[in-house]
Each structure stands twice: as structure tokens, then as C-alpha cells.
Homo-oligomer: A and B are copies of this chain.
């Protein structure tokens, strides 16, 4: 096993939808290597920690967000031999989806950036971010994860704006309404309605128990 010695880190792709834009939480590095550059939050796995434990701890330390209550899943591992100048470091990317406004405007030690306007990132974090964004986009098709981006309770329009922001498309409100309200367990209706704001008050919903969306809500196939 000599030579097969790695340090293992967890990197977090924390996504939210702010101002109708899919955004990612980035931190500015204050230590070498890549000091001063933007990077995904993350850190080293501790001796007795499992990967998701590390990810949840880093999420809490970096943002104050606690599990359970937020979606967190593993994306994959990145281990190119030259990805870290300090030596052999394997990074395990994770994806977290959090509702808008669950952090202050300026979260602890980080800042929100639209996912397609981050500029260059440290290490191979741009690739990890791209994989996380693509995972999120794909999962909206066949799961109910979009609701994880919305605070509770939510309106159908809020949920639709999530899809529109994540996919970068516009969706017909009437067809979207039909789809999500006719999918059992996606949205649980409450008796309440929005009180203020322009237009007709909207019914408020909570997240339902369903996790899969069948049949799925398909994007147009990415032009090949």
C-alpha cells in the first residue's frame, strides 16, 4: 500500500435559487494553495467521519444550515493526480439544495454567485460545480426535489420559478399547475393563501411525501 496514500476532502456544491437565478455558495480561500481565489466550501474528512457526516458538518460550519431538512447527496469523486499541488488529494463532491432565504443575504464566510457567472474557481472546482448543476437539472425532471429550493409553505408559482431558473426556460403556468397539482404527493394543499402582493392570492402548499415524479417532467433534450 506504500504510495497509495491520499488525503480525502469533501467539497460542497450548495445551490439555491435567488432572484430567479440558480446560484452557488462560494468561499474565498485565505490560505495557499490558490489563496484569494473562489472555491467550493469543504474540508478534510476527520478520522472517524463518514463522507456524508463530513459534508453535513461543513455545511453547518459554512452556512449554519443543519440537517435533516435539507437535501444532501454525493456527486462523485475527483482524484486526478495533479489536482492539488500539495500532493495526492481525493475530493468527494456533494450536492446540497437549500431554499432561498434560509441564510442571511450574506451567509457566514461565503457568498452567492449565479452558477454561470462565477469566473474561474480554485483546483478543479469548476468541473465539480458543473457536475452538480447538471445533476440538479436532471433530478428536477424525475424527482420532486424542486420543492427543496422553496421555503415552506410555497405557492405553485414559486415552484415554477425554480424550474424556470434551474433550467433557464419559461414554462406555461397553466400546464405547470396541472402537472404538479395532479401528481399525488408532490404538493400538499393547505387552507391558507398568500395575503399580500399583487394579483390574485395564491394557495399555499407544503412538500408532500412523494420523492419521484411519474411520469417525469421532461426538459427539451439538450441539443446534441
User: A residues bordering B, Cβ < 8 Å?
Assistant: 1, 3-8, 44-51, 74, 76-77, 79-81, 88, 90, 92, 210-212, 214-216, 218, 221-222, 224
Contacts and interface: CB of A to CB of B under 8 A. Distances in A.
6 contacts: A5-B6, A5-B7, A8-B79, A49-B81, A50-B80, A77-B92
A210 to B, nearest CB: 8
Contact of A218 (B5, B76, B77, B215): B215
A77 B49 contact: no
Nearest to A220: B214
B81 A48 contact: yes
A130 to B, nearest CB: 15
A119 B6 CA distance: 32
Contact of A79 (B50, B80, B221, B222): B50
* Copies of this polypeptide in the complex: 2
Nearest to A5: B5
A13 to B, nearest CB: 15
Contacts of A46: 3-4
Contacts of A214: 218, 221
Contacts of A80: 50
A88 B215 contact: no
A75 to B, nearest CB: 8
A88 B215 CA distance: 42
B218 A4 contact: no
Given A47-B81, A90-B90, A212-B224, 14 more contacts: A1-B7, A4-B45, A5-B5, A5-B6, A6-B6, A45-B79, A47-B88, A49-B81, A51-B77, A74-B76, A74-B77, A76-B76, A76-B77, A212-B222
Per CB-CB distance, the 9 closest pairs between chain A and chain B, nearest first, are A214-B221, A3-B47, A4-B44, A77-B77, A6-B8, A6-B6, A48-B81, A51-B79, A4-B7
Nearest to A49: B81
Contacts of A47: 3-4, 81, 88
A222 B143 CA distance: 13
A218 B79 CA distance: 34
Of the listed residues A45, A50, A77, A210, the one surrounded by the most CB atoms of chain B closer than 10 A to its CB is A77
